[in-house]
Amino acid sequence: MKKFGLVNMTAMLIFTLSVATGCALFEKETVVTIDQVPPAVRSAIEKTTAGNTVKQIEKIESGGKVTYEVEYMKDGKEHDAYFTDDGKMVKGVQ
> Is 84 within a domain?
yes
The pLDDT of residue 26 is 78
Q: In the chain, what is the greatest distance between 2 CA atoms, to the nearest angstrom?
A: 64
Residue 1, Cβ density class (10 Å: 0-12 exposed, 13-18 middle, ≥19 buried)? exposed
Residue 64's domain spans which residues? 26-90
List, for residues 40-88, the tens digit of each pLDDT value.
999 999 999 999 999 999 999 998 999 999 999 999 999 999 999 999 9
> Is 18 within a domain?
no
**Looking at residue 82, which CATH number applies to its domain?**
3.10.450.360
- Report how many domains make up the chain: 1
CA angle 57, 61, 65 (to 5 degrees): 115
Q: How far is CA 5 from CA 2, 61, 66, 83, in A?
A: 5, 33, 37, 43
> Is 82 within a domain?
yes
- Evaluate if pTM is beyond 0.75: no
Q: Which of 44, 40, 51 is nearest to 70 (CA)?
A: 44
